[in-house]
Structure 1
Amino acid sequence: MGFEAKLKELGVTLPDAPAPAANYVPWVKVGDTVYVSGQISADENGLITGTLGADMDVQTGAAAAKRCAIALLAQVKAACDGDLDRLVKVVKLGGFVNSTADFTQQPMVINGASDFLVEALGDAGRHARSAVSSPSLPLGVAVEIDGVFQVK
């Protein structure tokens, strides 16, 4: 089963790849590697904002991270001329969590993206990762994730 078919089975439709919010490109392809700029937490209703440890719980933060992963896949699809099945491997994610100084569950928040990618892509979705705290993120979003992907 192809990746898009698996996403459809999971009830996930990739949106159009989000446009960059400033002076950068959404992705850069070098050889068989695609570097995707940070994707901020947003859904069909707009930005997902909040601060973990203050006004957002881990489960809601993990759902926001999943939305970042969906946006990452949309960017990879765009980098592959609309063919997500050219994706070979998720190599690495860099996860940033808008959180209070005493919040320590950043890995559980970023698991929302990691778990989704493994569910949707199988072994191709297993990746190296970082999950760090940030005192604020652009536009007040809860999560931002960038990624490195191998494609064919």
Structure 2
Amino acid sequence: MSTPEARLINLGITLPEPMKAVANYVPFVISGQHLFVSGQVSSTPDGLVTGRLGETMDLPAGQEAARRCGINLLAQCKAALGDLSKVSRVVKLGGFVNAHPLFTDIPQVINGCSDLMVDVFGDAGRHARSAVACPTLPLGVAVEIDGIFEITN
């Protein structure tokens, strides 16, 4: 069975340096057997992915923005744990989409991140989830996603 890191390589994904907190919070907290990762915004090595779904972005662009959030979540997990194999389950994702009021494909946008979690962790990547639209997000980003992960020592 391949490891999460091996699956990332097969997917052609290199994890970026984890993003630093931009306000009064920490990027992650470990409590008991759970890792709580603060909201990760849509960004690439080239900068923030900004825009509003249904206005300046279409569904595929939103899904890619959510995938970028997932990559950033994984970067925080790696920073917290040192090894993604210590993630035994993706428990829950909370997705927020900067969307025009008439844009309703919010769940499909967040699938960009959910699909990545399943690709990386297999069945252990299947999770509970919320997906909501917002009139704006910090820094004008298109998507923000936080996560709760069950971990092993």
1:48-87 matched pairs, under 5 angstroms: 48-80=49-81, 82-87=82-87
Please give the alpha-carbon distance, in whole angstroms, between the structure 1 residues aligned to 2:29 and 2:21. Answer: 13
Residue deviations 1:2-61 (CA, integer Å, cap 9, x gap) = 110110011011112111111100001001101100000000110000000101000000
Please give the alpha-carbon distance, in whole angstroms, between the structure 1 residues aligned to 2:104 and 2:117. Answer: 23
1:5 paired residue number: 6
1:105-120 matched pairs, under 5 angstroms: 105-120=105-120
Q: TM-score, normalised by structure 2?
A: 0.97
Please give the alpha-carbon distance, in whole angstroms, between the structure 2 residues aligned to 1:76 and 1:19. Answer: 13
Please give the alpha-carbon distance, in whole angstroms, between the structure 2 residues aligned to 1:60 and 1:13. Answer: 20
- Aligned AA (2:19): P
Q: Hey, which bits of structure 1, 4+ residues long, moved more than 3 A?
A: none
Q: TM-score, normalised by structure 1?
A: 0.97
Query: Number of residue pairs matched?
Result: 151
Please give the alpha-carbon distance, in whole angstroms, between the structure 2 residues aligned to 1:40 and 1:104. Answer: 20
Identical residues among aligned pairs (%): 58
Residue deviations 1:76-130 (CA, integer Å, cap 9, x gap) = 11111x1111111100000000001111100010000001111121111100001
Structure 2 residue runs of 5 or longer lacking an equivalent are none
Please give the alpha-carbon distance, in whole angstroms, between the structure 2 residues aligned to 1:24 and 1:54. Answer: 31
Structure 1 residue runs of 5 or longer lacking an equivalent are none
Please give the alpha-carbon distance, in whole angstroms, between the structure 2 residues aligned to 1:88 and 1:17. Answer: 21
1:134 paired residue number: 134
